[in-house]
Structure 1
């Protein structure tokens, strides 16, 4: 008796049985998203993106992978569909806020555009992150530093002490040109080495590093340059003046050879409290303020973009749109048709 069982694929009634659990598992069609995430992170690092930017991108991508896995949804480059992204964004909106969901949308859009690019080609179909699914974020009025607030802030640093000279110079530069905290605090002062020296008092400019590492000469007005020059004279008497390559020096703590971005933020909060300013004073508020004041004074958007070191003109709109109506009212006051009768 033969032990061989004949297999006839055409035999009626023959059917492959699968369990409900196996049918629920999506069959991958492309590279797993976790592998794509690791490759994307390497690509971002190779492009010299800022650490904070990379963390934001990869954190959102990791959250999306976890969401897909927890809900037994496709977790490969080809299998993700628009409805999966849409459901994730809705979940994030209810879990946190519209603004947070919008960050997720923008970061996922960058990631899938990278996967869909000709160079990477991990996804052959269009990106599942659709423009129509972008969360509708309610715009909130941005808080700027008014002229009155700036005068009150400067009034808290009018003495001849090292700390007051330093803080006044910093607040003048921030109000004048709006650099990022990491940019202004990363300025080097090495007058004996012109190659590394970022301070050009005669040229009224500072060399800073932008997001991503590009160098940018930040222009200074005459009053900001005078405040900086006054600080440099006080700096020359500091115990770390000859050994530290950094422009901004501290007066307390472990490392007085470098006044850090965190120290700058703490200083502004303290000065704001002394000045009686209710809203928290931050370097970011100064950034928008400088752009707004330049536009109000008549500078074109391209000029503002170049002064602040932005890559695109859209950033000018992002930082200054909230006060566009105020600028329009001031222009109307000068050009009023009724007043010209």
Structure 2
């Protein structure tokens, strides 16, 4: 990435419209401060490139200049997705300039970012993941953490699904969890033995942290619902403390869940049903799979699932 230019070297004729646009995003369209900062950063990067090229006015920017800028971003190592974000910011900025009658056209309108090669999701090694999950917690917060991580890996939960989980969504006797996924679509997932044991341990100490009437399954030391960011931080911390050879994050556990079950079962449709994927291009080839079939595939395939669920006597 190129070094940041001295702000005093940027022409006011380029900078002032950028600041006006960011102010428009903040005050008129009510974008978050973080989003405004992202737009400003991307546009200031373009401003620096233009001023280094001798351009003093936004009206001077032409389509072939935008293509040259895209090529420069690619040379600097940005992938297709990042370049597409820069182009999106540029297009929206020029829509604003058109509205303000500062330019007469949008030179980024028909420019597309180069395609990026699809990155394969990283997965954790079964043995190391088991070692990390089997490590003994030392206090109630770590009991909670292990329970969260076991449940994510056991059932392939998304981060948002775990953070939004309520006590009422878990059926301990049925070894099932009900989650609300993307598009407010509900699905029921099996819970493996290790995760059930972790849930029992957590529920045994949860009352020491959670206030009466708190519906959230996982709570902070203050007793309120644990945030997504806190879950991410606690998982990363657990990996560091327990000696993981890669950074642990929630999606790694979900990817590992999918990979390990698919590797053992070969049943792609069942795995995708368990994950709750809603992409039309993918789900068109699925046939409906009832929950009993999904649970059998899960029990036979997941490294930490309960075995012989259906052969066990009724304990009720």
Fold conserved (TM > 0.5)? yes
Coordinate RMSD, CA, aligned: 4.7
Where do 1:194-273 residues align within 5 Å?
199-202=168-171, 204-207=177-180, 215=184, 217=186, 219-223=188-192, 226=196, 229-230=199-200, 233-242=203-212, 244=214, 246-251=216-221, 255=222, 257-273=224-240
SS at match of 2:179: strand
Where do 1:56-71 residues align within 5 Å?
56-69=38-51, 71=53
SS at match of 1:220: strand
Q: TM-score, normalised by structure 1?
A: 0.55
Give the corresponding residue for 1:85.
66
SS at match of 1:204: strand
Choose the corresponding residue for 1:150, options 108, 129, 136. 129
SS at match of 2:246: coil
Q: 1:301 to 1:125 in 2, by over 3 A?
A: farther
CA distance in structure 2 between the partners assigned to 1:44 and 1:256 by the alignment: 35
Structure with the higher helix share, 1 or 2: 2
Contact 2:232 / 2:250 at 8 angstroms: preserved in 1?
A: yes
CA distance in structure 2 between the partners assigned to 1:302 and 1:289 by the alignment: 12
Q: Kindly tell me the number of residue pairs found equivalent between the two proteins.
A: 259
SS at match of 1:249: coil
CA distance in structure 2 between the partners assigned to 1:144 and 1:103 by the alignment: 22
CA distance in structure 1 between the partners assigned to 2:36 and 2:278 by the alignment: 20
Where do 1:319-330 residues align within 5 Å?
none
CA distance in structure 2 between the partners assigned to 1:168 and 1:287 by the alignment: 15
Choose the corresponding residue for 1:73, options 55, 78, 91. 55
Contact 2:123 / 2:252 at 8 angstroms: preserved in 1?
A: yes
Q: What whole-Å deviation, never above 9, does each CA across 1:14-36 have from its counterpart, x for those lacking one?
A: xxxxxxxxxxx9x99xx945544
Report the Cα offset of residue 204 of structure 1: 1.7
Pick the structure with greater CA Rg: 1
